[in-house]
Amino acid sequence: MKALGVDIGGTRIKAGLVTRDGKILRRLAIETPIDPGEFKRALAAVITQLATGEEELAGVGIGCKGIIDYETTRIEVLPGLLRPLEGTRLSELVPLSVPVRADNDAKVALAGELLWGAARGRRHVVLLTLGTGVGGAILAEGKFIRGVGGVAGHLGHYTLDPDGPVCICGNHGCLEAYFSADAIEAEAFRAVHSGCISVLTDRFRQHPERIRCRDVFEAAAEGDELARLIRDRATRRLAAAIAGLLHIFDPEIVILGGQIVEAGAALLEPLEREVEWRTRGLLRRKVPLVTQQMEDRSGIAGAAALLFAENGGQYTQSPISTGAA
């Protein structure tokens, strides 16, 4: 059996034909149109192209940032340039008479990990996606925690400091305002713009706006003091947030995904040490921090997992919307 998986991102729409074991047979990617009308036409065209010639499809799974009503596929909140799509039911944009499921992109990532990755066989899991922002998903007693309005799991808005910097959500001192690619790059920009002594200043003095998070981690790994300061301060805050989440949810495992995780040991080793000492007093055990283990991390296979998850918590307990004929 096959399903279509679709990942709606702020810059690209990625889609693919996925087998039950998580393999992507065919894939397409296009730039995300900003105009709502163009977006709907482009999404329908991608789905139609991939579905052509496929007689039996389990359905279409869609992952999208923001707050998605899982039971209706309605986009409740969608920050950024795609905000005009709020109120749209994604199932109505699918030009096929097949089951359609949609969810927040971080929950989609965890659905994929449940079937084919680090969460397989687990009942208590916390997942964090560390990229431009910070996303999250929580599995407790084998079920996804959604909350009353579907907001549960937005771990990037865990408040670390009530008087901290303003976050995109309007709160102050959120985890995302301290540990995200945007936050780390902003701090590096300020340091280079101020002329601080660093290899980052040497490399980006003329164009500090070109600094990327990976540049900071690479410089830190090379021993640059400024880069280490930025990395270590951000990592301590992430560790403090994870420690709080461990005390709240007591998971079997914490899964980390997103572009920042590509830093590897430069991030994971100090993070593990910091989390361990912050939690050993009550937990009395070391909770594994692991990276996503799915072969595909584009979001495509994870979206298809919404159709394949037989024991994925609420993924078999809620109504499935149907696409248009």
What does the pLDDT look like over 240-276, one tens digit per residue? Answer: 999 999 999 999 999 999 989 988 888 999 999 999 9
Candidates 51, 139, 137; CA nearest to 94 is 51
Reported as a single tens digit per residue, the pLDDT across 90-138 is: 999 999 999 999 999 999 999 999 999 999 999 999 999 999 899 999 9
Q: What is the CA radius of gyration of the chain?
A: 20
Mean pLDDT rounded to a whole number for the chain: 91
| % of the chain beyond a pLDDT of 90 | 79
Q: Flag whether pLDDT at 178 surpasses 80.
A: yes
CA angle 20, 26, 32 (to 5 degrees): 110
Q: Which residues, other chains included, contact 227 with Cβ-Cβ below 8 Å and sequence gap of 6+?
A: 188, 198, 199, 200, 216, 217, 218, 219, 220
Question: What is the structure's pLDDT at 139?
Answer: 95
Could you say which DSSP state residue 159 is in?
Answer: B
Q: Flag whether pLDDT at 30 surpasses 90.
A: yes
Question: What is the structure's pLDDT at 266?
Answer: 85
List the structure tokens of 131: 């990229």
Question: What is the structure's pLDDT at 316?
Answer: 40
Q: Flag whether pLDDT at 317 surpasses 50.
A: no
What is the distance between the alpha carbons of residues 106 and 154, in angstroms, rounded to a whole number?
9
What band does 51 get if pLDDT is binned at 50, 70 and 90? very high
As to burial, measured by CB atoms within 10 angstroms (0-12 exposed, 13-18 middle, 19+ buried), residue 141 is exposed
Q: Which residues, other chains included, contact 281 with Cβ-Cβ below 8 Å and sequence gap of 6+?
A: none
Question: What is the structure's pLDDT at 309?
Answer: 75
Question: What is the structure's pLDDT at 87?
Answer: 95
Candidates 133, 245, 226, 229; CA nearest to 181 is 133
Q: Flag whether pLDDT at 322 surpasses 70.
A: no
Q: Flag whether pLDDT at 15 surpasses 60.
A: yes
What is the reported pTM?
0.89
What band does 215 get if pLDDT is binned at 50, 70 and 90? very high
Phi-psi region of 223 (alpha: psi -120 to 50; beta: other; left: phi over 0): left
| % of the chain beyond a pLDDT of 70 | 95
What is the distance between the alpha carbons of residues 112 and 275, in angstroms, rounded to a whole number?
25
Question: What is the structure's pLDDT at 321?
Answer: 55
Question: What is the structure's pLDDT at 13?
Answer: 95
What is the distance between the alpha carbons of residues 104 and 303, in angstroms, rounded to a whole number?
10
Question: What is the structure's pLDDT at 324?
Answer: 65
Whether 150 and 278 have beta carbons less than 8 Å apart is answered as no
Q: Flag whether pLDDT at 150 surpasses 90.
A: no
